[in-house]
Structure 1
Amino acid sequence: MRKLPILILLSLCSCNKWSEEDKDAWKQACNENAEHWTATPEGAKTYCDCILDKMEKKYPDINDALAHTAEMATDTTYINCRNGIKLK
């Protein structure tokens, strides 16, 4: 019977959390894309850091985040990350 709480905790654990490699790969791809529309590399970094922070909070499981990328394009939470960034 003592194993039950451990099994419950293990089932609640997200096994697909964002690894540092996942974050780095996402930031690199995002920065390459954002540099096409931002005026500066710093603007791209600021935007991508904002997006990643919001994605990790909303989708702690990277697979969930990847499954919802199309929705993010119209979500004001992510669109607001562009606020204050100089555009080309």
Structure 2
Amino acid sequence: MTSCKDEATWAKTDAEKDTYCNCMLDKLMAKYPKVSDFMENVDKVMADTTLQECRPKAQ
């Protein structure tokens, strides 16, 4: 999760970064419970607009 936190440059606090990254992880694990599922769908993950819903939760 370190890279997620590094990417959340807009967050003002570590707590906001944690909230954002935990939301992202929860959404990804719900859609892709197996690592192999995730790896097979990396392109879809990168284009998944539902992940953007996590950002406002942290702001």
Q: TM-score, structure 1 length as denominator?
A: 0.54
Pick the structure with greater CA Rg.
Answer: 1
How far, CA to CA, are the matches of 2:50 and 2:2 in structure 1? 21
When the two structures are aligned, how many residues end up with a matched partner? 59
SS in 2 for 1:60: coil
Whether 1:61 aligns to 2:29 is: no
Structure 1: tracts of 5 or more residues without a match: 1-26
How far, CA to CA, are the matches of 2:20 and 2:51 in structure 1? 9
Superposed CA RMSD: 1.8
User: How far apart are 1:70 and its partner, in Å?
Assistant: 4.2
Match of 1:82 among 38, 47, 55: 55
Distance 1:44 1:69, change over 3 A: farther
How far, CA to CA, are the matches of 2:35 and 2:53 in structure 1? 21
More helix by share: 2
Relative contact order higher in (CA < 8 Å, ≥ 6 apart):
2
